[in-house]
Structure 1
Amino acid sequence: MPVQYYIFLSIALFCIGIMGVLMRRNAIIIFMCIELMLNAVNLLLVAFSKMWVDAGRVDAASAQLFVFFVMVVAAAEVSVGLAIIVMMYRNTHSVDINILSRLKN
Protein backbone atom coordinates (compact mmCIF):
# COMPACT_ATOMS: atom_id res chain seq x y z
CA MET A 1 0.00 0.00 0.00
CA PRO A 2 1.50 3.38 -0.97
CA VAL A 3 2.52 5.86 1.71
CA GLN A 4 0.32 8.53 0.12
CA TYR A 5 -2.80 6.77 1.42
CA TYR A 6 -1.47 6.92 4.97
CA ILE A 7 -0.52 10.57 4.54
CA PHE A 8 -4.00 11.43 3.28
CA LEU A 9 -5.67 9.54 6.13
CA SER A 10 -3.40 11.20 8.68
CA ILE A 11 -4.11 14.67 7.30
CA ALA A 12 -7.85 13.97 7.32
CA LEU A 13 -7.78 12.76 10.93
CA PHE A 14 -5.66 15.73 12.00
CA CYS A 15 -8.04 18.19 10.30
CA ILE A 16 -11.04 16.55 11.97
CA GLY A 17 -9.26 16.92 15.31
CA ILE A 18 -8.46 20.59 14.69
CA MET A 19 -12.05 21.32 13.71
CA GLY A 20 -13.28 19.55 16.84
CA VAL A 21 -10.99 21.57 19.09
CA LEU A 22 -11.95 24.86 17.47
CA MET A 23 -15.70 24.30 17.20
CA ARG A 24 -16.75 22.32 20.25
CA ARG A 25 -17.26 23.73 23.75
CA ASN A 26 -17.37 20.45 25.68
CA ALA A 27 -14.09 19.77 27.48
CA ILE A 28 -14.32 15.99 27.10
CA ILE A 29 -14.85 16.23 23.34
CA ILE A 30 -11.93 18.67 23.09
CA PHE A 31 -9.66 16.13 24.82
CA MET A 32 -10.90 13.41 22.47
CA CYS A 33 -10.04 15.61 19.48
CA ILE A 34 -6.57 16.28 20.88
CA GLU A 35 -6.07 12.52 21.19
CA LEU A 36 -7.27 12.12 17.59
CA MET A 37 -4.64 14.61 16.45
CA LEU A 38 -1.93 12.78 18.40
CA ASN A 39 -2.96 9.48 16.82
CA ALA A 40 -2.88 11.07 13.36
CA VAL A 41 0.71 12.13 14.00
CA ASN A 42 1.54 8.63 15.25
CA LEU A 43 0.10 7.12 12.07
CA LEU A 44 2.19 9.49 9.99
CA LEU A 45 5.36 8.65 11.93
CA VAL A 46 4.82 4.93 11.44
CA ALA A 47 4.08 5.40 7.72
CA PHE A 48 7.24 7.45 7.23
CA SER A 49 9.32 4.96 9.18
CA LYS A 50 7.99 2.19 6.93
CA MET A 51 8.93 4.28 3.90
CA TRP A 52 12.46 4.93 5.20
CA VAL A 53 12.97 1.29 6.22
CA ASP A 54 11.96 0.16 2.74
CA ALA A 55 14.50 2.60 1.33
CA GLY A 56 17.16 1.16 3.66
CA ARG A 57 18.02 4.46 5.34
CA VAL A 58 17.02 3.84 8.99
CA ASP A 59 16.35 0.91 11.26
CA ALA A 60 12.79 -0.20 11.94
CA ALA A 61 12.68 0.63 15.63
CA SER A 62 13.52 4.35 15.60
CA ALA A 63 10.13 5.82 14.67
CA GLN A 64 8.19 3.15 16.53
CA LEU A 65 10.05 4.05 19.73
CA PHE A 66 9.16 7.70 19.19
CA VAL A 67 5.51 6.71 18.66
CA PHE A 68 5.61 4.76 21.91
CA PHE A 69 6.97 7.83 23.70
CA VAL A 70 4.19 10.01 22.22
CA MET A 71 1.60 7.47 23.38
CA VAL A 72 3.01 7.53 26.94
CA VAL A 73 2.91 11.33 27.00
CA ALA A 74 -0.65 11.27 25.62
CA ALA A 75 -1.73 8.86 28.37
CA ALA A 76 -0.25 11.17 31.01
CA GLU A 77 -1.98 14.15 29.37
CA VAL A 78 -5.32 12.35 29.46
CA SER A 79 -5.00 11.46 33.13
CA VAL A 80 -4.16 15.04 34.11
CA GLY A 81 -6.82 16.46 31.77
CA LEU A 82 -9.54 14.20 33.11
CA ALA A 83 -8.58 15.13 36.68
CA ILE A 84 -8.96 18.80 35.75
CA ILE A 85 -12.34 18.10 34.12
CA VAL A 86 -13.56 16.24 37.22
CA MET A 87 -12.54 19.15 39.45
CA MET A 88 -14.18 21.61 37.06
CA TYR A 89 -17.38 19.56 37.11
CA ARG A 90 -17.37 19.46 40.91
CA ASN A 91 -17.13 23.26 41.06
CA THR A 92 -19.47 24.27 38.23
CA HIS A 93 -21.61 21.14 37.53
CA SER A 94 -20.82 21.53 33.83
CA VAL A 95 -18.03 20.63 31.41
CA ASP A 96 -18.64 23.64 29.14
CA ILE A 97 -15.36 25.52 28.72
CA ASN A 98 -17.14 28.89 28.45
CA ILE A 99 -17.92 28.58 32.17
CA LEU A 100 -14.19 28.61 32.95
CA SER A 101 -14.12 32.40 32.57
CA ARG A 102 -16.31 32.61 35.70
CA LEU A 103 -13.72 30.72 37.76
CA LYS A 104 -11.37 33.73 37.74
CA ASN A 105 -13.41 35.56 40.40
Structure 2
Amino acid sequence: MPPSSLDSMTQLALQQYLIVGAIMFALGLIGFMTRRNLIVMFLSTELMFQGVTVNLIAFGHYHNNLYGQAFTIFVLVVAAAEASLALGLVVLLFRTKNTLDADAWRELKG
Protein backbone atom coordinates (compact mmCIF):
# COMPACT_ATOMS: atom_id res chain seq x y z
CA MET A 1 0.00 0.00 0.00
CA PRO A 2 1.25 3.49 -0.72
CA PRO A 3 1.89 5.66 2.35
CA SER A 4 -0.82 8.14 1.38
CA SER A 5 -3.56 5.49 1.43
CA LEU A 6 -2.34 4.21 4.81
CA ASP A 7 -2.45 7.75 6.18
CA SER A 8 -5.97 8.28 4.84
CA MET A 9 -7.10 5.01 6.45
CA THR A 10 -5.66 6.16 9.77
CA GLN A 11 -7.43 9.51 9.47
CA LEU A 12 -10.67 7.72 8.63
CA ALA A 13 -10.32 5.54 11.73
CA LEU A 14 -9.59 8.64 13.82
CA GLN A 15 -12.68 10.36 12.46
CA GLN A 16 -14.82 7.34 13.29
CA TYR A 17 -13.58 7.26 16.88
CA LEU A 18 -14.09 11.00 17.22
CA ILE A 19 -17.65 10.67 15.94
CA VAL A 20 -18.38 7.89 18.44
CA GLY A 21 -16.91 9.97 21.27
CA ALA A 22 -18.88 13.04 20.21
CA ILE A 23 -22.11 11.04 20.03
CA MET A 24 -21.49 9.62 23.51
CA PHE A 25 -20.79 13.09 24.87
CA ALA A 26 -23.88 14.56 23.18
CA LEU A 27 -26.13 11.78 24.48
CA GLY A 28 -24.75 12.32 27.98
CA LEU A 29 -25.30 16.06 27.73
CA ILE A 30 -28.86 15.61 26.49
CA GLY A 31 -29.56 13.12 29.27
CA PHE A 32 -28.12 15.44 31.89
CA MET A 33 -30.08 18.46 30.69
CA THR A 34 -33.45 16.76 30.17
CA ARG A 35 -33.76 14.32 33.06
CA ARG A 36 -34.66 15.22 36.63
CA ASN A 37 -33.78 11.88 38.25
CA LEU A 38 -30.43 12.20 40.03
CA ILE A 39 -29.26 8.69 39.17
CA VAL A 40 -29.91 9.25 35.47
CA MET A 41 -28.14 12.62 35.67
CA PHE A 42 -25.05 11.03 37.20
CA LEU A 43 -25.09 8.21 34.65
CA SER A 44 -25.27 10.86 31.93
CA THR A 45 -22.25 12.56 33.45
CA GLU A 46 -20.37 9.26 33.33
CA LEU A 47 -21.36 8.86 29.69
CA MET A 48 -19.90 12.30 28.95
CA PHE A 49 -16.65 11.27 30.70
CA GLN A 50 -16.48 8.10 28.61
CA GLY A 51 -17.00 10.07 25.40
CA VAL A 52 -14.05 12.28 26.32
CA THR A 53 -11.86 9.27 27.11
CA VAL A 54 -12.62 7.68 23.73
CA ASN A 55 -11.46 10.88 22.05
CA LEU A 56 -8.33 11.11 24.20
CA ILE A 57 -7.32 7.55 23.38
CA ALA A 58 -8.04 8.06 19.68
CA PHE A 59 -5.87 11.18 19.54
CA GLY A 60 -3.10 9.46 21.49
CA HIS A 61 -3.11 6.52 19.11
CA TYR A 62 -3.18 8.79 16.08
CA HIS A 63 -0.16 10.76 17.26
CA ASN A 64 1.69 7.60 18.42
CA ASN A 65 2.19 8.72 22.00
CA LEU A 66 0.83 7.68 25.37
CA TYR A 67 -0.33 11.10 26.56
CA GLY A 68 -3.95 10.38 25.69
CA GLN A 69 -3.92 7.08 27.55
CA ALA A 70 -2.19 8.62 30.57
CA PHE A 71 -4.67 11.48 30.73
CA THR A 72 -7.52 8.99 30.37
CA ILE A 73 -6.41 7.33 33.59
CA PHE A 74 -6.73 10.67 35.39
CA VAL A 75 -10.18 11.25 33.87
CA LEU A 76 -11.29 7.80 35.05
CA VAL A 77 -10.02 8.55 38.57
CA VAL A 78 -12.02 11.80 38.60
CA ALA A 79 -15.07 9.92 37.29
CA ALA A 80 -14.73 7.32 40.06
CA ALA A 81 -14.43 10.01 42.72
CA GLU A 82 -17.44 11.83 41.27
CA ALA A 83 -19.46 8.60 41.25
CA SER A 84 -18.66 7.85 44.89
CA LEU A 85 -19.55 11.37 46.02
CA ALA A 86 -22.70 11.33 43.90
CA LEU A 87 -23.82 8.04 45.39
CA GLY A 88 -23.36 9.41 48.90
CA LEU A 89 -25.32 12.54 48.04
CA VAL A 90 -28.10 10.52 46.41
CA VAL A 91 -28.43 8.31 49.50
CA LEU A 92 -28.49 11.39 51.75
CA LEU A 93 -31.13 13.11 49.64
CA PHE A 94 -33.28 10.02 49.44
CA ARG A 95 -33.15 9.57 53.22
CA THR A 96 -34.20 13.16 53.87
CA LYS A 97 -36.73 13.77 51.07
CA ASN A 98 -37.75 10.23 49.95
CA THR A 99 -37.33 11.29 46.34
CA LEU A 100 -34.60 11.37 43.72
CA ASP A 101 -35.96 14.43 41.92
CA ALA A 102 -33.30 17.08 41.31
CA ASP A 103 -35.72 19.86 42.27
CA ALA A 104 -35.64 18.58 45.86
CA TRP A 105 -32.07 19.91 46.14
CA ARG A 106 -33.38 23.46 45.87
CA GLU A 107 -35.49 23.00 48.97
CA LEU A 108 -32.63 21.86 51.24
CA LYS A 109 -31.63 24.57 53.70
CA GLY A 110 -28.73 24.25 56.17
State the TM-score, normalizing by the size of structure 2.
0.85
Give 1:96 deviation, angstroms: 0.4
- Check if 1:64 corresponds to 2:69: yes
- Check if 1:13 corresponds to 2:18: no
Equivalent residue number for residue 8 of structure 2: none
SS of residue in 1 equivalent to 2:78: helix
State the TM-score, normalizing by the size of structure 1.
0.89
- Check if 1:79 corresponds to 2:84: yes
Q: 1:92 aligns with which of 97, 100, 106?
A: 97
Query: What is the aligned-residue RMSD (CA, Å)?
Result: 1.2
Question: CA offsets, 1:75-99, max 9 Å, x none?
Answer: 0110011101100000000110111
Give the whole-Å Cα distance in 1 for the aligned partners of 2:91 and 2:85. Answer: 10
Equivalent residue number for residue 102 of structure 1: 107
SS of residue in 1 equivalent to 2:100: coil
Give the whole-Å Cα distance in 2 for the aligned partners of 1:63 and 1:5. Answer: 17
Alignment gaps of 5+ in structure 2: 1-11
SS of residue in 1 equivalent to 2:63: helix
What is the aligned residue count? 99
Percent same amino acid among aligned pairs? 34
Structure with bigger gyration radius: 2
Alignment gaps of 5+ in structure 1: 54-58
Give the whole-Å Cα distance in 2 for the aligned partners of 1:76 and 1:45. Answer: 20
- Check if 1:48 corresponds to 2:59: yes
Q: Which has the higher contact order (CA 8 A, sep 6+)?
A: 1
- Check if 1:25 corresponds to 2:36: yes
